Amino acid sequence: MSASSLLLRGLFAVLATALVLGGAPSTTTNGTEALAVAASNDSLIWG
């Protein structure tokens, strides 16, 4: 997989998670928080 493809997949995952969380698709605050939540499998989301 190319680096650009991986980057696009990662960015899409961050934005999708931010939208699921109900936040604006910001690449700064909400994007970072969404990535952290997705990486930690937060129990608040996954139950």
Question: Could you read off the pLDDT of 1-47 as tens digits, one per residue?
Answer: 688 888 888 888 887 877 777 655 455 555 666 667 666 665 555 54
Domain that holds residue 14: 3-46
* C-alpha–C-alpha distance, residues 11 and 26, integer Å: 11
Provide the pLDDT for residue 35.
Answer: 66
Residue 25 φ then ψ, to 5°: -75, 60
Query: Count of domains in the chain?
Result: 1
Whether the pTM exceeds 0.75: the reply is no
Q: Residue 17's closest CA among 1, 2, 41, 5?
A: 41
